[in-house]
Amino acid sequence: DRFHLSTRMFQLMARGKDYDFRWLEDRLRPLNFRLVYCTRSADSFAAARAKRLQVSGNPGQYDDLGLFVREQELLDRLVAESTLPVLRLDVSDNDIAAAANRVADWLAATGGLWMEE
């Protein structure tokens, strides 16, 4: 989960305040924690919204796609500032199976499936 990054993003966007979560990442790193950062191209948000509206209980939250683009731009910066290993995963094509395989391959290749002894 990117909880600490989404917290930073919200606080920056809503209140102009940034919080330093290096202490948290310093504790997560020894646990072999990693970030899988899913992104999409700006022009793919409309198609993603169409799929999401089929199951959303709150379709109004998807009215302003510009907000999602702005949030992703800020998250790009916050992810770049992270000290954790990161896989940037473009999901613009909505190919979930390929995305899952890429995550599994990355975790296997980088030792992310187990703890070092």
Q: How far apart are CA 89 and CA 99, in angstroms?
A: 7
Tens of pLDDT, residues 82-94: 999 999 999 999 8
How confident is the model over 55-72, as pLDDT tens digits? 777 777 777 778 888 999
* pTM for this predicted structure: 0.83
Confidence class for position 49, pLDDT limits 50, 70, 90:
confident
